[in-house]
Structure 1
Amino acid sequence: MNFDEYKDVWVFIECFQGQPKNVGFELLGQGRILADSLKQKLCAVVIGSDVEDAVKGAGSHGADKVYVVQGEEYKNYSSDVYGDAFLKLCHKYNPNTILIGATIRGRELGSKIAVSLRTGLTADCTALSVEEDTGNVVWERPAFGGNLYAQILCSDTRPQMGTVRPGAFKKPQENENNRPEIIKETINIDKDSILTKVVDFIKAQEDSGVKLEEAEYIVSGGRGMKNGENFKMLQQLADLLGGTIGASRAAVDSGWIPQTKQVGQTGKTVSPKVYIACGISGAVQHLAGMSSSDTIIAINRDETAPIFEVADYCIVGDLFEVVPALIKEISSVKNL
């Protein structure tokens, strides 16, 4: 089929209370690879109120163009308002590919846009590439409980769309000298068409401290932790490193730690500088959420644990001896 009228790779820069979320900038890095492969422009889409930081960040993270829709009606996210604005941009400019973060809002927005445009949407992607001969994006995601990776094509319609988990890719290096073309669009929304209204925001207790998906150091525990009380030891190590704790699904299912700390296919995808896995066997579902970490340190008594196959440093031993030793050593260095 001929899709010559569809051009450019779009990345939605999600914002909350005017501040951009990291996932949008992470997707600009992958968007650049796709755009270069397709010989097209990389474009950011920013919708909101007081979005100057998001526009600036989109430029410094590599966007060639930034489409900006700004107004008081966009202050708080609504699928009605944001979806209508995004669709109008799509009808006017005909993007070839759209990348959206697989957040709660991103999943809702992506679904609304895909249905309205009668095109495909691949959810929770972990890898992206382009077929050279067809120009189709290859969307890769875990399937069948994480035991396989499926490659999905949207060969019959445009735009091609996919959501990508936060933390699946790293942010590109910033370039403050990049000067994208800023395209401001005035899109007014009929207030009577807005079906939902934000009354208040209540901060979840787990939101305090370092966020799991943004942490540079993560200390995770699995079934080998034996009980929830032992996670205090991991928290102590994480605090020394300036990071946070995570967990495998087994630890969450056992009620030892909140689901908000779960790493893996059914949890969060992370890519910290250092990931320390304590008593985690390394099932494929867990590896799907942390294998892109810069450095992986695994502590496990079982020398055949699958986690050792992806770890950079493997410690075969009792975590209840190894972790206290790490805490003691790091504390002594910090006190010098």
Structure 2
Amino acid sequence: MSDIIRRDPRAEWIARNRLHPLHAAMQTQQASWMGPQGVLRKNPHAVGFIGPNGIKRIDRSGAQQGGAGGKRSAVAEVQLPLHQVAQPAFYIAVVPDMIGGRLGSHDRDLLGLAHSLAGSDGAVLAVVFGEHKESHFSTAGADRLLVIDGEQYQGYAPEQLVQGLRAVDNQFSPRHWLLPDSRTGGGELGRRLAATLGERPATRVWQVKDGQCIGRAGAGQQDIQRSVPRLILATAECAEPVSETRHEALPVELSTEALRALTRISDLGPVAVDPATIAMAEAEFIMSGGNGVKDWALFHQATAALGATEGASRVAVDDGFMPRNRQVGATGTWVTARVYMAVGISGAIQHLQGIGACDKVVAVNLDPGCDMIKRADLSIIGDSAAILKALIEAVESFRSDVQRDAA
């Protein structure tokens, strides 16, 4: 037998890539050993474990390590330290957009900024209108949660929302109001609230530090610095989201009913828009096809059935299956969809860069080891044609059941 030591480059790469599904299996169980010179050698990479936010954690007491050699199971959960504010000295009120009933990345950045302004004495008060589907307010940084429900707050009702926020201001008197400076409602609501409260807000704020806030101006070419006002409209990435602490998110209620003023705006409901006419940079649901799609007619049919906006990888565009303006990626269009469904796309680095801001990614592919599967929040391993047919049948069955129940 040869004495030559053979290396496995792929195994070494998996051992370095903590996002790979086989990463935990490739880790050595030996944390320390005696070297040939009698010196005790320690493996620093074998100490600790990767937490739910991708941050390595080390428990010096050894209570959380478990098992022989200090190895921890990859599926074990990490209990973050609980941040409690029993008697808040003041409140920092945050009104997230809650698109689709869930916290978005912009909302989490806003809660992170509120947490930095609250410090150890203040509490972050999250104000949510209507029903929501979010269950992670505690890990997002909310110390108190106020849900204002009612039919008058459904749809486009800025006047009623402002009345609700005025009731919150009267009861809790927040030191600062934080709203996202977005096109999905936060920007307009914040400006309306500022006019009602008589405050001069700071808009397009991207940094708050040392009692000063910096906002964009002049088409993004200029910065305006001023003292931190009571009402702040912040942009995305204004602060790091909360990831190191767990908060109580205690429910609170309004002691007085919000004013039910007669609204001068009537919401007639959303306008039906053809998804094919929506620009990909503004689309909420995108379904992209790649080299793995063999039946493009079926792909177009499934996209229409799901009500999604069509996209494509560079390979599909180069092959002439999709127009150039539908190319997704660093060499095409950067998208920020709530749901991005990649069908038959392996996940080149340029494509992954283009979908980096997407909230949820669904991947359909035959290769379970491709990069798109690793990036996806939900993966479906199988033939794309069979999966698309099943999706069309499921959608049609659901719609027929809804129509039958309505009749």
- Name the SS of the counterpart of 2:147 in structure 1: strand
The equivalent position to 2:201 in structure 1, one of 106, 116, 121, is 121
Q: Is the 8 A contact 2:179 2:232 kept in 1?
A: yes
Query: Structure 1 residues 22 and 174 mapped into 2: Cα distance closer, same or farther (>3 Å)?
Result: farther
CA distance in structure 1 between the partners assigned to 2:269 and 2:127 by the alignment: 26
Which residue number in structure 2 is paired with residue 246 of structure 1? 334
Shift of 1:91: 1.3
CA distance in structure 2 between the partners assigned to 1:120 and 1:113 by the alignment: 10
The equivalent position to 2:232 in structure 1, one of 141, 157, 162, is 162
CA distance in structure 1 between the partners assigned to 2:92 and 2:110 by the alignment: 11
Matches within 5 A, 1:113-192: 113-131=193-211, 138-154=212-228, 160-173=230-243, 178-185=247-254, 188=257
Shift of 1:15: 2.9
TM-score normalised by structure 1 residue count: 0.54
Shift of 1:20: 4.0
TM-score normalised by structure 2 residue count: 0.46
Identity of aligned residues (%): 15
Shift of 1:112: 1.5
Structure number with greater Rg is 2
Query: Structure 1 residues 179 and 10 mapped into 2: Cα distance closer, same or farther (>3 Å)?
Result: same
Query: Structure 1 residues 144 and 73 mapped into 2: Cα distance closer, same or farther (>3 Å)?
Result: closer
CA distance in structure 1 between the partners assigned to 2:200 and 2:89 by the alignment: 15
Matches within 5 A, 1:225-240: 231=325, 234-235=327-328, 237=329
CA distance in structure 2 between the partners assigned to 1:29 and 1:169 by the alignment: 6
Q: Is the 8 A contact 2:155 2:269 kept in 1?
A: no
**Residue 29 in structure 1 maps to residue 29 in structure 2:** no
Which residue number in structure 1 is paired with residue 125 of structure 2? 43
CA distance in structure 1 between the partners assigned to 2:164 and 2:154 by the alignment: 13
- Unaligned 5+ residue runs, structure 2? 1-87, 288-312, 314-322, 336-350, 358-369, 373-407
Letter in 2 for 1:31: A
Q: Is the 8 A contact 1:61 1:174 kept in 2?
A: no
Query: Structure 1 residues 130 and 10 mapped into 2: Cα distance closer, same or farther (>3 Å)?
Result: farther
Q: Which one scores higher on RCO, CA 8 angstroms, separation ≥ 6?
A: 1
Which residue number in structure 1 is paired with residue 94 of structure 2? 11
**Residue 193 in structure 1 maps to residue 262 in structure 2:** yes
CA distance in structure 1 between the partners assigned to 2:196 and 2:226 by the alignment: 20
Q: How many residues align?
A: 223
CA distance in structure 2 between the partners assigned to 1:180 and 1:330 by the alignment: 36
Q: Is the 8 A contact 2:205 2:234 kept in 1?
A: yes
Per-residue CA deviations over 1:265-284 (Å, capped at 9, x if unaligned) read: xxxxxxxx9747xxxxxxxx
Which residue number in structure 1 is paired with residue 190 of structure 2? 110
Letter in 2 for 1:197: S
Q: Is the 8 A contact 2:204 2:215 kept in 1?
A: yes
Shift of 1:8: 1.8
Q: How much is the aligned-residue C-alpha RMSD, in angstroms? A: 4.2
Shift of 1:21: 3.9
Shift of 1:230: 5.1
Which residue number in structure 1 is paired with residue 76 of structure 2? none
Letter in 2 for 1:26: D
Shift of 1:61: 0.6
Q: Is the 8 A contact 1:32 1:62 kept in 2?
A: yes
- Unaligned 5+ residue runs, structure 1? 132-137, 212-218, 220-228, 248-272, 277-289, 293-328, 332-336
CA distance in structure 2 between the partners assigned to 1:185 and 1:92 by the alignment: 7
Letter in 1 for 2:233: T
Q: Is the 8 A contact 1:25 1:57 kept in 2?
A: no
CA distance in structure 1 between the partners assigned to 2:330 and 2:267 by the alignment: 35
CA distance in structure 2 between the partners assigned to 1:191 and 1:117 by the alignment: 18
